[in-house]
Structure 1
Amino acid sequence: MEQILTLNQQNLAAISTKIPVPSYDRSTIKTGIVHVGVGGFHRAHEAFYTDQLLQDKSQTDWGICGVALLDFDTKIYNTLKAQNGLYTLIVKELDGSFTKQIIGSIVEVLFAPESPIKVIEKMASPEVKIISLTITEGGYNYNEATGEFNFENPLIQHDLETPNAPKTIFGYLTQALQLRKENGLKGVTIQSCDNIQGNGHMTKKMLLSYVQVAAPTLVSWILENVTFPNAMVDRITPATSPLDIEKLKETSGIDDGWPVVCEPFKQWVIEDDFAAGRPAWETVGAQFVKDVVPYEKMKLSLLNAGHSVLGILGALYGYSTIDEAANDADISSFLRIYMGNEVTPTLGGLEGVNLKNYKFSLIQRFGNIYIKDQIERICSESSAKIPIFILPTVYAQLANNRTIQHAAFIIAAFAIYSVGVTENGAQLMIKDAMEAELTKKAILARNNPAVFLEIASIFGDLKSSKTFVDAYSKAYQHIVTNGIEKSVKDINSRVLNKI
């Protein structure tokens, strides 16, 4: 039987006989980046790009210090700490083969709840030039209805009252930037890697809103010394399963407590606006541009929205993974029509992008039977995703008197999904910060579908659009009366007959 090697720095040489490992001496790498949120996506994306860059032995200034921000992150922190920041990246190719390598770019790991001062001091370290973030859409703490910072959040109240032991990213950044200012240091770049259009603008707006209250004298220093480049990020990264961990042991003899699995496709488009220098990520496939907004809009409204469409419809069909939904002919047809008739007319300014090819590649990526992205994961926190991924398309289409039939159907399906039970009586696991309100409104919507649109923090004033409410209510009643599968077939048929 093959010897099983525990993944850590000490065993790296032995592991190198099994799969590729970093070719650089990790002990010589300085920490130039602090990254908050060391989950699967960061480790499949920014940390991967940075690992590729570090293979060039002259690039020694861009190691990553990974910060686990929340109490919930205890497991990932303990795993990475035990493994000296090392982990296995498993790329699941379309042909079913696996490409594996050890990633070494995370050279330090900190657990914020255990040592908040250490995290603040690391962010304020002179060698740190970039603080990057993957804190999920909900982590930016804004009210969707108003677009403003949510000071009602109890964690924000805690940070205002207890600034030296913060619990949110805004508390940490404020303390770290204050310390940089006091120490006379140059500025820093704060780089969002989250799925929010204008993610740099959003980060800047939310941070300055908080700082205006928490440390108003710091505002002018931030405006002069800190940059917030927008970026578009893309790589499908499903949750790691116990089967993935066991398969790695069986096939490669490596005991990795939390490997990362992902698809082969990757994309990173970044505005070149860095306050204190940056890694040459363009040498390993990233793209630097003057304006990232058109690319972000394309990705959010096609890929991310597409995921939500497959997730919500797939859940109601009784599927458990995204590839199952994507390979259902009717759901796939629904998504193609939605992307072609409702999203594509809202896009523009995509230099160097063949939109037809991009949409075709999405269908292929969604249908990758080896990725097995869980529908439950994709549907989680839909209350934060729908306003970002789907509603901008709705508003743009309404403003130009164009069709919103499929988008309205998706929202109707979401209302029915939010009851928490499929039409066959199977329980749906609703994982959402707004679960209580979603369920309450979803149950009331059984008598009056439009009630669901009254959740202003998700839908804003959408309920005031008669065009949308009529299309949504019609779709809702059709699903309830005829079932989800027949309703999807019928809406596809109606639209296809018009084309």
Structure 2
Amino acid sequence: MPRLRQNRKRQEMTVKLSRANLDKLPEKVGRPSYDRAALKPGIVHFGVGNFHRSHQAVYLDDLFNAGLGHDWAIVGAGVFDGEKVGRERLEEQDWLTTVVEQDSGRMAARVTSVMTDFLMPGDGEAIVEQLADPAIRIVSLTITEGGYFIDPASGKFNPTHPAIVADAQDIGDPKTVFGLILAGLLRRRDDGIGPFTVMSCDNIPHNGHVTSDGVVGLARLIDEDIADWVEEHVAFPNGMVDRITPATTDRERAMLAKDFGVEDNWPVFCEPFKQWVLEDRFTDGRPPLEKVGVQFVRDVAPFELMKIRILNGGHATIAYPAGLMDIHFVHEAMQEPLVRGFLEKLEREEIIPTVPPVPGTDLGDYFKLIDQRFSNPKIGDTVRRLCLDGSNRQPKFIIPTIADRLSAGKGIDGLALESALWCRYCFGTTDSGAVIEPNDPNWDRLQATAKAAKGDAAAWLAMEDIYGDVGKSRVFAEAFVKALAALWSGGTRNTLSRYIGATA
């Protein structure tokens, strides 16, 4: 059959996602039981990407399907021009998203309809106007680790960043997320409207405190009284979020069309597992998310530290050796005995011992669950995605663990090897000689430093904004130098084999 006829036949068999076509979707595709027209916005969300649509949006969809919280619908918002592409894709299908959950035993698709609008990214005036609406009681964020203007070495908000300085000088025309939030809060204060809660849904330590530091820090550049008012009146709850959600490619779009008969511009594929642990601290109410599995606690920190060190640290552990060994998918990395062995040994000997007890959780069982999730062959998560943005992720997911081990006088050989693998990856070629395309906002700097480190390993640890005091540790430096030398002389496979075979 000619290709043109095949394409026509496929299009005839699929249903283009839209509100008008919801009743035409195949029976096996779940759809909202609520009327989207009856929803009322209660949340403005910055960062309408894959993770948000597989996580927060799914919890709200569950809530709305249960007949609850219909005044907590989402209005999307963005800051960067690049977000306009996603907005356009969603607008074409009435802001609907198909979410596909996959593991080795099942595959299920559902359509969510919790977003009622998506303000044009960069339209500060419209966004501030929406933020000033009394109906908006929560502003949530998934802007990635790099969006919080954090100094990597100190982990603190950087008030000298040019974008922050620019917003402080003209808060009437804000460009950053924090500037928009602050402008919205000030408009509400001037109008006699209570402030909204600012709720980070990003995967960073103490995300509520970090977000507060950003908003309050910007306010202090403008007026101390404004900063004090924000500190006193605005809630910034901490939360731990978890769901493995890869990027969407033509592969996922084609799978959705073939397996479920749905044509979606921007579907989300994810694992069945999801978790959200959240402090019950809100300025002006919240949706009853405990009805759909969100765990509200007094202190998120133990859950957060467990996830960041064991899961996110685990991702970093498998990412760079797999990348250097030309492995494409994460589940394929877990099928490689050397990568899986490295993960197992490093987690059990160095990472998990730094995690304090977590209420109601066995850390060994938690790691077993992580191992299973990483091994899920249906997700299609890529090694390259895990390798992305190491300059922001390593200071959050790996280096604090090294610092704790050093403070306790414990061994750090495995963690030093992980750091050396990151350095070797940033050199820009795999062990086979294949070119690694830029994969970090600071790639040019990292690559130049990695090349210098081939001859002088200390050059890598001299990146004080990333390593801080850890880079000055003689114990860590010696282990790092040894690991990097082994990688250059013997390659990734041989180095991992020797590490796994070594006794604890």
The answer to whether the 8 Å contact 1:65/1:108 transfers is yes
Gaps of 5+ in 1: none
Matched with 2:108 is 99
- Partner in structure 1 of residue 98 of structure 2: 88
Cα displacement (A) at 1:181 = 0.6
**What SS does the aligned partner of 1:233 have?**
strand
- What are structure 2's unaligned runs of at least 5 residues? 1-8
User: What is the distance in 1 between the residues matched to 2:26 and 2:288?
Assistant: 26
Aligned to 1:111: 120
Q: Is the 8 A contact 2:157 2:210 kept in 1?
A: no
Match of 1:70 among 65, 75, 80: 80
1:332 is displaced (CA, Å) by: 0.6
CA distance in 2, matches of 1:111, 1:216: 32
User: Would you say the 8 A contact 1:462–1:468 is kept in 2?
Assistant: yes
Name the CA distance, whole Å, in 2 between partners of 1:294 and 1:18. 39
Q: What is the aligned partner in structure 1 of residue 440 from structure 2?
A: 432
Within 1, Cα distance between the matches of 2:194 and 2:36? 26
Contact 1:88 1:256 in 2 (8 A): yes
The equivalent of 1:360 in structure 2 is: 368
Q: Which of the residues 60, 63, 67 maps onto 1:53? A: 63
Distance 1:148 1:198 in 2: 11
Which stretch shifts more, 1-10 or 316-325? 1-10
Question: Aligned to 1:445, what secondary structure does the other structure show?
Answer: helix
Q: 2:391 aligns with which of 383, 394, 398?
A: 383
In structure 2, the residue corresponding to 1:32 is in which secondary structure? strand
Q: Secondary structure at the match of 1:372?
A: coil
TM-score (norm 2): 0.95
Q: Does residue 423 in structure 1 map to residue 437 in structure 2?
A: no
Read off the aligned partner of 2:420 and give its amino acid letter: A
C-alpha distance in 1, partners of 2:187/2:158?
Answer: 25
Q: Distance in 2 between matches of 1:70 and 1:5?
A: 31
1:491 maps to 2:499: yes
Aligned to 2:339: 331
| Residues matched between the structures, number | 494
Alignment partners' CA distance in 1, 2:72 and 2:282? 14
Q: What's the counterpart of residue 42 of structure 1?
A: 52
Deviation at 1:57, TM superposition (A): 2.1
Does the 8 A contact of 1:188 with 1:225 survive in 2? no
Moved more, 40-49 or 182-191: 182-191
Matched position secondary structure for 2:232 = helix
Q: Distance in 1 between matches of 2:14 and 2:432?
A: 45
After superposing the two structures, state which structure 1 stretch, 18-27 or 153-162, moved more: 153-162
Identical pairs, percent: 35
For the residue of structure 2 that corresponds to 1:288, the secondary structure is strand
Would you say the 8 A contact 2:278–2:294 is kept in 1? yes
- C-alpha deviations, 1:287-328, integer Å up to 9, x for none? 011100010000000111111111111101111111111121
Q: Distance in 1 between matches of 2:154 and 2:256?
A: 47
Q: How does 1:338-353 map to 2 (within 5 A)?
A: 338-353=346-361
- 1:222 matched residue in structure 2: 230
Return the alpha-carbon distance in structure 2 between the equivalents of residues 79 and 120 of structure 1.
24
1:402 Cα offset (Å): 0.8
The equivalent position to 1:250 in structure 2, one of 254, 258, 263, is 258
More moved, 224-233 vs 148-157: 148-157
Which residue of 2 is the match for residue 260 of structure 1?
A: 268
Partner of residue 25, structure 1 = 35
- 1:403 and 2:411 are equivalent in the alignment: yes
Compute the displacement of 1:377 (Å). 1.3
Question: RMSD of the alignment, in Å?
Answer: 1.4
Match runs of 1:151-170 below 5 Å: 151-170=159-178
Q: Paired residue for 2:4? A: none
In 1: Cα distance, 2:148 partner to 2:135 partner:
26
Residue 16 of structure 1 and its aligned partner are, at CA, apart by 6.2
